[in-house]
Chain A
């Protein structure tokens, strides 16, 4: 029971921050896809850079476990392409659709209904997908650091530098 309440509080904080930065709305999401407005990329990268440092620091102290998703080229690439096509049409991703509804963007409701239908469809298609796209290029639970056989901190430093350079470039271009 307690874990469910913590989930609600965590989501509340995240939804609050998403709305404060105005990243949940269609114009911002499609604006990023059209390379006109990089607000969501700034938000996303800031969150990634901060959590990357914190989580790996705690990992080194033995305080947390990582949750590494399998790299399966077939499923990742085909799934990513389908997701991208849908994202351009819907203009919200699964989490932000709820956030968009929270600030009154009711068109997100149709997207949420579509996503529920898509989830059902996926459950029906899963046996077929398991024997096809999930079989293509399965590298297991790898990370950049493990694939390069190096410590994770050099990778983190490179990401931070690349992220900061990207931010500077966005601000110079007024994106």
Chain B
């Protein structure tokens, strides 16, 4: 039970139950990308607080820790515990599929991941996902 991979149908359905309880008990729907805006605003406040105060978007999405911010941290913790207890934790800088296609290239992987991340977040916020 704890060592094995769970069926994606079973784990997905259980996640659905967690969504229902979350909406019912605390009126919170799942999301992650807004938390990156809050985190970016908090980091920017350290170096350029006047710029953060100027930007309209940081007034709509205020740079502070909220339910969703902790939800995102919780994903990190939950995944870590699940991985450790099932022996599937694996420290790795280059994913297997990447390595098969492009070889062991941690620098190239890092650059691609970084710029992919920029686009992912810009697009996710624009589409309000």
Contacts and interface: CB of A to CB of B under 8 A. Distances in A.
A133 B126 CA distance: 9
A126 B120 contact: no
A105 B12 contact: no
Given A116-B43, A122-B126, A111 B116 contact: yes
Interface string A110-132: 11111111111111111101100
Interface string A6-30: 1111111111111111111111001
Nearest to A11: B74
A126 B78 CA distance: 33
Interface residues of A, number: 106
Contact of A16 (B78, B89, B109): B78
Interface in A29-53: 30-31, 39-40, 42-52
B117 interface: yes
Contacts of B24: 58, 63-64
Interface in A84-129: 84-108, 110-127, 129
Q: Is the interface of A mostly helix, strand, loop or mixed?
A: helix
B117 to A, nearest CB: 2
A147 interface: no
Nearest to A121: B122
Contacts, number: 391
B117 A123 contact: no
Interface residues of B, number: 92
Most buried by A among B79, B81, B82: B79
B118 to A, nearest CB: 4
Contacts of A137: none
Interface string B3-22: 00111111111111111101
Contact of A50 (B16, B66, B67): B16
A65 B71 CA distance: 20
A106 B97 CA distance: 15
Most buried by A among B10, B28, B113, B128: B113
A3 interface: yes
B16 A46 contact: yes
Given A7-B74, A51-B20, A98-B75, A119 B37 contact: yes
A22 B7 CA distance: 9
Nearest to A50: B16
A55 interface: yes
B33 A94 contact: yes
